[in-house]
Amino acid sequence: MWWISTSTRAWRTRNRPLPSGHLRPRSCILFALALGALSMVILVAFVNTLTAVLTFLSLIGYAVVYTMYLKRATPQNIVIGGAAGAAPPVLGWTAVTGEVDPHALLLFLIIFVWTPPHFWALAIHRRSEYAEADIPMLPVTHGVAFTRLQVLLYTLLLVVVSVLPFVTHMSGPLYLAGALLLGAGFLRHALRLMRSDAAAMPAFGYSIVYLMGLFALLLVDHYVPLIRSLLA
């Protein structure tokens, strides 16, 4: 299987159980199918059918469309495949409410726009491994300078998108202030990356903290009125 054989050439993943040969592809596929089938049964029986359907589409989108096709078909693999990675907030929302709300789609949009600058920073650092494995990541096909610019542009777009929960009255001033501070930090890393490849991994690391912080702010901001009422 090409997605297994090429992964053994990547230093970042070569020690994982499947590329290293500790697990057999057939066993992994059977285990994954069993987990997938069990998850569908659980979601339909104990959550709701809509969540089960959306989860199945996300699973197929990531495991099949992205991993088996997009990853080697286009340097925009991360952009297109990011839809599957951005699905969890929507799935959580539908699990609780039974419907797809515009605010859930806004959370989807935040992660969707966050994915390219997050992963392309890593791709810049690991570009030689992607080239060796013949995976057309953006720094391999279009060069590092072009990828740096895309990271910066997507980061700017992300800052704008991250403000939308406040604009749509989904969150309040606490979230807005935190989102702008986190966005300023991300922009600083993106600008540093424009000057030096050495900033790639710090930018990648910060992107993880950024997303965690943004969603933590959404959670805290949601409960601010409740906390105020209890203290009043």
What distance in Å separates the CA atoms of residue 11 and residue 7, rounded to the nearest whole number?
8
What is the pTM for the complete model shown? 0.87
- Tens of pLDDT along 8-39? 455 667 777 877 778 888 888 899 899 999 99
Q: What is the DSSP letter of 99?
A: S
What distance in Å separates the CA atoms of residue 54 and residue 149, rounded to the nearest whole number?
33
- Tens of pLDDT along 102-149? 999 999 999 999 999 999 999 999 999 888 888 899 999 999 999 999
Contact 216, 208 (CB under 8 A): no
